[in-house]
Structure 1
Amino acid sequence: MLDVIIIGSGGAGLSAALSAKDLTNKVLIISKTYPTHSQTVQAQGGINCVLDEENDSIENHINDTYNSSKYISNKNTIKTMCKNAKETIQWLDKLGVPFSKDEKGNIKQRYFGGTKNKRTCYSSDYTGLKIIHTLYDNCIKNDIKFLHEHILIDLIIEDNKYKGVKIYDLENGKIKNIYSKSLIIATGGYGNVYSKHTTNSISTTGDGLAIAYRNGIKLSNLEFIQFHPTALKGTNTLISESARAEGAYLVDKNEKRFVDELSTRDEVARAIKEKLLKDEDVYLDMRHINIDILKEKMPQEIRLIKDILNIDVSKDLIPITPAVHYTMGGILVDVSCETSIKNIYACGEVAQNNTHGANRLGGNSLLEIITFGKIAGKEAANKSKQIVENRAKEIEDDIQFIEELLTKEINKSIYEIKNELSTYMFKNTGLFRTKNDLIKMLDIIKTFEKEYKNSGIKNKDLNYNKNLLEYLEIGNIILLSKLTVISALKREESRGSHYRIDFKNSSEKYKKISTMQLINGEDKHNFEDAI
Structure 2
Amino acid sequence: MIDVLIIGSGGAGLTAALSAKNAGASVTVAGKAYPTNSQTSMAQGGMNAALGNVGEDHIRSHIADTIKSAKGLCDEAMVKQMCEEAPGTIAWLERLGVPFSRLDNGETGTQTIAQRQMGGASAKRACYAQDYTGLKILHTLYDTCLKEEINFLDEHYLLNLITEEGRVKGATFLEIRTGEVKQINAKSIVIATGGYGALYHGFTTNAYGSTGDGIAAVLRAGGAVSDMEFIQFHPTALKHSSILVSESARGEGGYLVNEKGERFVDELKPRDEVARAIFSQIQEGQRVFLDVRHLGEEKLMELLPQEVELCKLHEHVDPAKALIPIKPVAHYTMGGIEVDSMLEVNGIKGCFAVGECSNAKVHGANRLGGNSLLEITALGKLAGTNACKYTLDVSDTPADDTQRQKDAQEIETLLSQAEAVNFYPYRERLGNLFYHKVGIVRDNDHLHEAFAEVTAMQESQKEMGIADKSPANNQNLIEFLEFKNALLLAPAIITSAIERDESRGAHFKIGFESENEALKKHSIYHLGKEETCK
Same fold (TM over 0.5): yes
Note closer, same or farther for the CA distance 1:7–1:25 as it changes in structure 2 (3 Å cut): same
Deviation of 1:394 (Å)? 4.6
The answer for the alignment partner of 1:46 in structure 2 is 46
**Is 1:435 paired with 2:444?**
yes
Match of 1:354, SS? coil
**TM-score of the two chains, using structure 1 as the length reference:** 0.97
Instruction: Name the counterpart of 1:67.
Output: 68
CA displacement, residues 504-531 of structure 1 (integer Å, 9 cap, x when unaligned): 111001111111012xxx2x212222xx
**Do the aligned partners of residues 239 and 355 (structure 1) sit closer, same or farther apart at CA in structure 2, a change above 3 Å counting?**
same
- Quick check: 2:233–2:272 contact (8 Å CA) kept in 1? yes
Distance 2:232 2:243 in 1: 15
Return the TM-score normalized by structure 2. Answer: 0.97
Which structure 1 residue ranges, 5 or more long, are not aligned?
none
Aligned residue among 509, 518, 527 for 1:500: 509
Q: Distance in 1 between matches of 2:437 and 2:356?
A: 24
Decide whether the 8 Å contact of 1:210 with 1:476 is kept in 2.
yes
Post-superposition Cα deviations, 1:345-395, rounded to whole Å, max 9, x if no partner, equal: 000000000100000000000000111111000000111112132322354
Q: Distance in 2 between matches of 1:423 and 1:29?
A: 34
Contact 1:220 1:515 in 2 (8 A): yes
> Residue 190 of structure 2: SS of its match in structure 1?
strand
1:172-195 residue CA offsets vs partner (Å, 9 max, x unmatched) = 111111111100000000001101
Counterpart amino acid of residue 127 in structure 1: T
Residues 368-447 of structure 1: pairs in structure 2 closer than 5 A: 368-395=375-402, 397-398=404-405, 399-447=408-456
> Residue 525 of structure 2 corresponds to which residue in structure 1?
516
Cα offset, 1:304, TM superposition = 1.1
1:228-307 alignment runs, 5 A limit: 228-307=234-313
Deviation at 1:218, TM superposition (A): 1.1
Unpaired stretches in structure 2, ≥5 consecutive residues: 105-109
Match of 2:366 in 1: 359
Distance 2:139 2:470 in 1: 34
Does the CA-based 8 Å contact 1:408-1:455 persist in structure 2? no
1:189-248 Cα shifts (integer Å, max 9, x gaps) = 000110110001122111000111111111011000000000010110110000100111
User: What residue number does 1:484 align with?
Assistant: 493
> In structure 1, what is the Cα distance between the partners aligned to 2:470 and 2:259?
52
Superposition deviation, residue 91 in structure 1: 0.6
Partners of 2:439 and 2:148 lie apart in 1 by 43
Give, in angstroms, the shift of residue 25 of structure 1.
4.4
Partner of 1:56: 57
Q: Does 1:9 align with 2:9?
A: yes
Q: Distance in 2 between matches of 1:364 and 1:65?
A: 8
Residue of structure 1 equivalent to 2:533 = 528
> CA–CA distance in 1 between the matches of 2:422 and 2:285?
33
Is the 2:216–2:485 Cα contact (8 Å) retained in structure 1?
yes
Partner of residue 464 from structure 2, selected from 455, 469, 487: 455
Partner residue, 2:224: 218
Q: Aligned ranges for residues 320-339 of structure 1 at < 5 Å?
A: 320-339=326-345
Give the Cα separation in 1 of the matches to 2:403 and 2:394: 24
Moved >3 Å (runs of 4+): 393-397
Instruction: Find the aligned partners of 1:396 and 1:286 in 2 and give their Cα distance.
Output: 54
RMSD: 1.1
Residue from 137, 161, 165 that aligns with 1:155? 161
Structure 1, residues 42-63: CA drift from partner, whole Å, max 9, x if none? 0000000000187111111001
Distance in 2 (alpha carbons) for counterparts of 1:376 and 1:483: 25
User: 2:183·2:401 contact (CA, 8 Å) conserved in 1?
Assistant: no
Higher alpha-carbon deviation: 98-107 or 382-391 = 382-391
Secondary structure of residue in 1 paired with 2:112: coil
d(CA) in 2 for partners of 1:75 and 1:397? 40
1:347·1:369 contact (CA, 8 Å) conserved in 2? yes
**Over residues 238-271 of structure 1, what are the superposed CA-to-partner deviations in whole Å (9 max), with x where a residue is unaligned?**
1000010011100111101000000000000000
Q: Distance in 1 between matches of 2:283 and 2:20?
A: 49
* Higher mean displacement: 53-62 or 484-493: 53-62
Residue range with higher mean Cα deviation, 5-14 or 197-206: 197-206
1:86 Cα deviation after fit: 0.7
8 Å contact from structure 1 (residues 407, 456) kept in 2: no
Q: Does 1:464 align with 2:465?
A: no
Question: What is the percent sequence identity of the aligned residues?
Answer: 46
